Structure 1
Amino acid sequence: MDLRPIRWPDDAPRLQGFDASYSTSTIFVPEVVGMSVALRETGLAVPFRKTYAPETLGEAAAAAAFAVAAESTSGAFEGFATVQLQRWNRSAELSALFVAPGSRGRGLGRILLAAALHFARSERVRCMTLETQTSNVPAIRFYQRMGFRFCGIHTALYDPAAVAQEEVAVFFTYALDVP
């Protein structure tokens, strides 16, 4: 496996064919009390499965300031990460980080995240932010292990005609300690 920059639009077919799905038997349910928010993990009777529309994966790479793929020896993408810069507040957004189901559990997510953080530091941004869904328990646990801190939710971000009702936007941030 090698990391290499994503070449847009040449890599569009591989990104559009990438399996970024996940499945979970628990979700986080936001509990809002006054001005406080907590996430309560809740078991599901039937596992929740999420798939992403192929065109959204390519859009993340096309709009990114940084896009890197983990490519297998056969040329298939095993994972990829993208970062968008927000110059107005010196932050970076981890706009995508996906590892193919067959490549999970081997440390590839850590490698891709390290590359994204390295890029962000080289751009002298002060923090990295990300957004995921309350249904994406595997990602939430991963980001917490990597040092990201929960910083809020957005209950109306997603179009209810396009996502499951269980999905609420959850935001995390990572301080980069760059002056």
Structure 2
Amino acid sequence: MGMTYFKRYRMEFDLRTWSGGANAPPAGYELVPYQPGLLHEHATAKYHSFREELDADVFPCLSRREGCLRLMREITSRKDFVPEATWLIRYLAVHPQTGERFSLAVGTIQGLAQEGWGAIQNLGIAPEHRGRGLGSILLAHAAAGFRQAGLRQMHLEVTTENTGAIRLYERLGFKRSTVVYKASEVAGARGA
């Protein structure tokens, strides 16, 4: 294992210019506001979203179920946690053989209030559910939650190699503000 530095962008969004418009999820999906009893579902969505992604190298806890659950507990127990900016997306399905209905947690976002800013934590969509606008829906609902909490700006960090996420954020109006580096001990890392 060696120390690797991952190059990340801090991206910012001015909520004062946001026109609102948090879309409903597509058919077969359910958007669920934060509730304390949903920690395991948020952790499951986080794990499936990040376990095989670059972010699991940057933040190793994302590569393990128990690490994702621990992270959710840490985020939601903070004084600056913003429940209104924390959402879950479930995929509603029917078992093809039994006809039994079930749901899978496939998307998550969490929010913190830091020094007057809404800070997005771990926006994640499970790979098989990407490309359906779910990330945009989660970001819009988090933005509405931050505004409801009285915040005027929000930000997030994204690893520069995550070009798909960067395109999404820029399309939604986020602007790159600074470059930051995250140090992480990783065996065979892919970092910058």
TM-score under structure 2 normalisation? 0.62
Q: Is the 8 A contact 2:49 2:127 kept in 1?
A: yes
1:132 aligned residue (125, 137, 158): 158
Structure 1 unmatched ranges of 5 or more: 24-47, 168-179
Calculate percent identity across the aligned residue pairs: 25
Which residue is equivalent to 1:61?
72
Tell me, in whole angstroms, the C-alpha distance in 2 between the residues paired with 1:80 and 1:12.
Answer: 10
Q: CA deviation at 1:125?
A: 0.9
More RCO (CA 8 Å, sep 6+): 2
Tell me, in whole angstroms, the C-alpha distance in 1 between the residues paired with 2:51 and 2:69.
Answer: 18
1:7 aligned residue (18, 35, 43): 35
The structure where helix makes up a greater share of residues is 2
The structure where strand makes up a greater share of residues is 1
CA RMSD of aligned residues (A): 2.5
Matched, 1:151 2:177: yes
Q: Deviations over 1:94-128 (max 9, x none)?
A: 01211111111111111111100000111111210
Give the 5 Å matches for 1:81-100: 81-86=109-114, 89-100=115-126
Q: Deviations over 1:57-80 (max 9, x none)?
A: 334533142221011222211211
Tell me, in whole angstroms, the C-alpha distance in 1 between the residues paired with 2:188 and 2:109.
Answer: 22
Matched, 1:71 2:90: yes
Which residue is equivalent to 1:166?
191
TM-score under structure 1 normalisation? 0.66
Which residue is equivalent to 1:105?
131
Aligned residues: 139
